[in-house]
Amino acid sequence: MKQIWAPWRIEYVRMKKPEGCILCEKPRQDNDALNYILYRGDKNFVIMNIYPYNPGHLMIAPYRHIANLEELTDEELGEHFGIVSRGIKLLKQVFNPGGFNIGINMGKVAGAGIDEHVHTHIVPRWQGDTNFMPVMSDARVVPEALAETYKKLRGKF
C-alpha cells in the first residue's frame, strides 16, 4: 500500500475549530475579500480554500446547510455544477494547469474536514507540482500567496 503524505495540512488538523459551520458563517459576513469569497450565486457560492493543496484551490458550497449531495434540490444541484464548470474554465484561463482534481468528500470517514456542509473542491494540477519538499523537509510549497490568487480570480466569475 502506498502512503500519501500531506504534512502541510497539520496546521488545519491541529487548529481549534471555530464554533458553527464556516461554510454558513463566511457568506453571512459582509467582507468577501477577507473571507476569500470569489462568487455568490443564487443557491451556491465560491470560496478559496485557505489551506490549499495548490494555488487556485476552490470550494463550491450551497448556502443551505446540508451534509449530503443527494439532498440538494435540482435547482441547487444545477447551479452548483454549473459553477464548478465555470470555475474550471476560469482556472484554465488564469493559471493554465495541466489538469484538475475535483472531489466531494461526504462524511468524516470519507475525509471530509467539514462533514456537515457538502462542498466540491476544484484543485488545479501541474506536471511536477509535487516535489521533494514534503518528503525531505516535512513542508509543502504553495508558490503563491492567497491574496495574490484572490486578486487574479476576483471579479472573473
Give the catalytic positions in this structure. 119
Helix (H) or strand (E) holding 13: helix 10-14
Q: How far is CA 146 from CA 33, 34, 78, in A?
A: 11, 11, 28
Q: How far apart are CA 122 and CA 83, in angstroms?
A: 11
Render 68-87 in DSSP notation, one character per residue: -GGGS-HHHHHHHHHHHHHH
Helix and strand numbers, DSSP H then E, in the chain: 6, 5
154 three-class SS? coil
Q: How far apart are CA 134 and CA 125, in angstroms?
A: 16
Instruction: Report the DSSP beta bridge partners of residue 136.
Output: none
